[in-house]
């Protein structure tokens, strides 16, 4: 059962979401009812989440397509991912674009970082500028159904979207057809080129991950697992003759450090802007920052609640001069 301190923090956060317009009064009321029921009978009915799910679908779903201004991607099967997880991921990626005029200035966005589930992938302050610009080349590690890739598309960037899961990759291909300049890549990213075991999280495809050393009897794949191909960013850049990499976004369930180790030459040569999730492993914030600084000491780095943002000041420096 959720302890009192954690419960009060959750309610406080929901009050703030209510006043910021992220939730409706009805959803907040259902949250309170849900908390009372959970305390009394120790069951979580998630009434407020279901109401928010239905609201999102009413507002954005048309003919099986989720539409957020110019962005379009397919509605995902609830058996593959719950609408609650879909809503949270989409809110993180597109809330600022849809509701805040695509403005990522820290001074104007500070109140939102603790209210969104994980926070947006773009960020700007006096130290770093981690935003997508027209003409840029984006590497989207853990693209899922292509929500961030679709956002980069409307910014007129070209995105290589990495998604190794068989089923989710089919959704990513649909997103690529609905939006321009998205190139799906059916591979994972790490620090070496290998074939690896991949665990599919039933009911939440956004949490699919590499099976870190999971032991299987007689080499038989467990239910929900598959074998996937892993490459490195440095190898991918070389094999595809990329002459620039401007932005790397990564949410790959704890494998971010290995992805960065496989991108040392890319970080040194091109100094792409970085938006990396830092909440999967306890030491992610320290480990990821150390790898980035060792690869390219010119990076400025800002750590927020669940994400790391990094960029190299552009004044007097060109990423295309080695």
Q: What is the DSSP string of 173-203?
A: HHHHHHSSSEEEE--EE-SS-EEEEEE--TT
Joined tokens for residue 289? 């920052």
Specify whether the CB–CB gap between 222 and 197 falls below 8 A. Answer: no
Name the average pLDDT for the chain.
83
Least confident of 210-224, 262-276, 293-307: 210-224
pLDDT digits 0-9 by tens, 154-183: 999 999 999 998 888 999 999 999 999 999
For 97, counting Cβ atoms within 10 Å of its Cβ (0-12 exposed, 13-18 middle, 19+ buried), the class is buried
**Which of 189, 195, 319, 313 is CA-nearest to residue 263?**
189
Tokens 């665990």 identify what position? 199
Query: Which DSSP helix (H) or strand (E) runs through 52?
Result: helix 47-60
Bridge partners for 130 per DSSP = 123
**Residue 89 CB: number of other CB atoms within 10 A?**
22
Least confident of 41-55, 79-93, 185-199, 211-225: 211-225
Average pLDDT over residues 82-86: 57
Higher-scoring residue by pLDDT: 228, 139:
139
Residue 90 has pLDDT above 80, yes or no: yes
**What 3-state DSSP class applies to 135?**
coil
Average pLDDT over residues 221-242: 83
For helices 147-154 and 166-178, the axis angle rounded to 10 degrees is 20
pLDDT digits 0-9 by tens, 99-131: 888 999 998 887 777 788 888 999 999 999 999
Strands 194-199 and 209-210: antiparallel
- pTM for the full predicted model: 0.83
Least confident of 13-17, 64-68, 215-219, 250-254: 215-219
Residue 221 has pLDDT above 80, yes or no: no
**What 3-state DSSP class applies to 24?**
coil
Tokens 């790959």 identify what position? 252
Q: Which residues contact 83 (CB under 8 A, 6 or more apart)?
A: 50, 53, 56, 57
Bridge partners for 302 per DSSP = 309
Give the pLDDT band of residue 12 (cuts 50, 70, 90).
confident
Give the pLDDT band of residue 56 (cuts 50, 70, 90).
confident
Joined tokens for residue 298? 């010119």
Average pLDDT over residues 229-237: 96
For 287, counting Cβ atoms within 10 Å of its Cβ (0-12 exposed, 13-18 middle, 19+ buried), the class is middle
Tokens 């959970």 identify what position? 38
Higher-scoring residue by pLDDT: 62, 245:
245
Q: What pLDDT score does 183 carry? A: 98
Q: Which residues contact 109 (CB under 8 A, 6 or more apart)?
A: 96, 100, 103, 120, 123
Quote the CA–CA distance of 195 and 187 in Å, as a whole number: 10
Residue 43 has pLDDT above 90, yes or no: no
Q: Which residues contact 100 (CB under 8 A, 6 or more apart)?
A: 108, 109, 112
> Above pLDDT 70, what percent of the chain?
82
Alpha-carbon Rg of the chain, whole angstroms? 20
Domain boundaries defined on the chain: 1-60, 63-311
DSSP structure class, residue 207: G
- Superfamily of domain 63-311 in CATH is Vaccinia Virus protein VP39 (3.40.50.150)
What is the widest separation between alpha-carbon atoms in the chain? 64
Higher-scoring residue by pLDDT: 12, 321:
12
Give the pLDDT band of residue 75 (cuts 50, 70, 90).
confident
Average pLDDT over residues 304-310: 94
Give the pLDDT band of residue 201 (cuts 50, 70, 90).
low
Beta strands in the chain (DSSP E): 61-62, 65-68, 71-74, 123-124, 129-130, 137-141, 158-162, 182-185, 188-189, 194-199, 209-210, 225-231, 247-250, 273-277, 300-303, 307-311
Q: What pLDDT score does 127 carry? A: 95
**Cα 58 to the center of its chain, rounded Å:** 24
């Amino acid at each position: 059962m959720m302890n009192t301190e954690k419960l009060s923090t959750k309610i406080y956060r929901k009050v703030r979401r209510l006043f910021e317009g992220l939730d409706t009064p009805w959803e907040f009321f259902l949250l309170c009812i849900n908390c009372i029921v959970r305390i009394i009978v120790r069951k979580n009915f998630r009434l407020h989440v279901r109401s928010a799910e239905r609201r999102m679908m009413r507002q954005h779903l048309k003919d099986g397509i989720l539409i957020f201004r110019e962005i379009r991607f397919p509605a995902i099967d609830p058996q593959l991912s719950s609408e609650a997880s879909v809503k949270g991921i989409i809110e993180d990626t597109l809330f600022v674009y849809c509701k805040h005029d695509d403005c990522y200035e820290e001074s104007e966005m500070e109140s939102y970082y603790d209210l969104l589930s994980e926070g947006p992938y773009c960020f700007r302050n006096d130290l770093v500028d981690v935003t997508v610009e027209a003409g840029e080349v984006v590497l989207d590690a853990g693209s899922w159904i292509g929500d961030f890739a679709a956002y980069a598309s409307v910014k007129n960037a070209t995105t290589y979207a990495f998604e190794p899961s068989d089923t989710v990759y089919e959704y990513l291909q649909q997103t690529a057809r609905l939006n321009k300049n998205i190139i799906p890549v059916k591979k994972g990213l790490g620090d070496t080129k290998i074939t690896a075991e991949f665990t599919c999280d039933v009911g939440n495809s956004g949490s699919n991950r590499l099976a870190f050393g999971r032991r299987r009897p007689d080499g038989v794949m467990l239910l929900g697992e598959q074998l996937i191909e892993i490459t490195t960013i440095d190898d991918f850049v070389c094999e595809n003759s990329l002459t620039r990499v401007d932005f790397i976004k990564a949410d790959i369930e704890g494998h971010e450090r290995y992805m960065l180790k496989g991108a040392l030459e890319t970080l040194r040569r091109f100094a792409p802007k970085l938006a990396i999730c830092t909440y999967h492993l306890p030491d992610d914030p320290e480990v990821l920052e150390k790898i980035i600084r060792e690869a390219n000491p010119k990076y400025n780095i800002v750590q927020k609640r669940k994400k790391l943002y990094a960029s190299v000041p552009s004044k007097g420096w060109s990423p295309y001069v080695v």
